[in-house]
Amino acid sequence: MANIKQQIKRVGTNEKARLANASFKSGMKTSIKAVLGSTSKEEATSLLAVAYKKLDKALAKGFVQKNFVARKKSQLANHVNSLN
C-alpha cells in the first residue's frame, strides 16, 4: 500500500473504476447471452437493440476492440434472423 496521500487516493479511484468497468462488462455479456437464449423472434429483436447499444457503448469507452463488436453484432443478427 502506498504511503503518499495522492497515491492512496489513486488506489481508491482505480478500485472504484475497476468495479464500475467489471459491472459494465458483465451487463454487456448478459445482454448478449439474453439474445442468444431467446426463442421468439419478437423478444430477440427487442433484446438485440439493447445488446447493440451496450456493445457500441463498450467500444466507445474502449473496453472492447472494434472487430469484437463487429463479430458479436454479426453473430447476434444471424441468430435473430434464423429464428422463426
Q: What is the pLDDT of residues 18-75, one digit of tens each?
A: 999 999 999 999 999 999 999 999 999 999 999 999 999 999 999 999 999 999 999 9
pTM, entire model: 0.84
Q: At what angle do helices 41-61 and 5-37 cross, to 10 degrees?
A: 160
Q: How many CB atoms lie within 10 A of CB 62?
A: 8
Q: Is 76 exposed, middle or buried (0-12, 13-18, 19+ CB in 10 A)?
A: buried
43/84 Cα distance (integer angstroms) = 12
CATH superfamily assigned to domain 5-82: Ribosomal protein S20 (1.20.58.110)
Domain assignments of the chain as residue spans, ordered by start: 5-82
30/24 Cα distance (integer angstroms) = 10
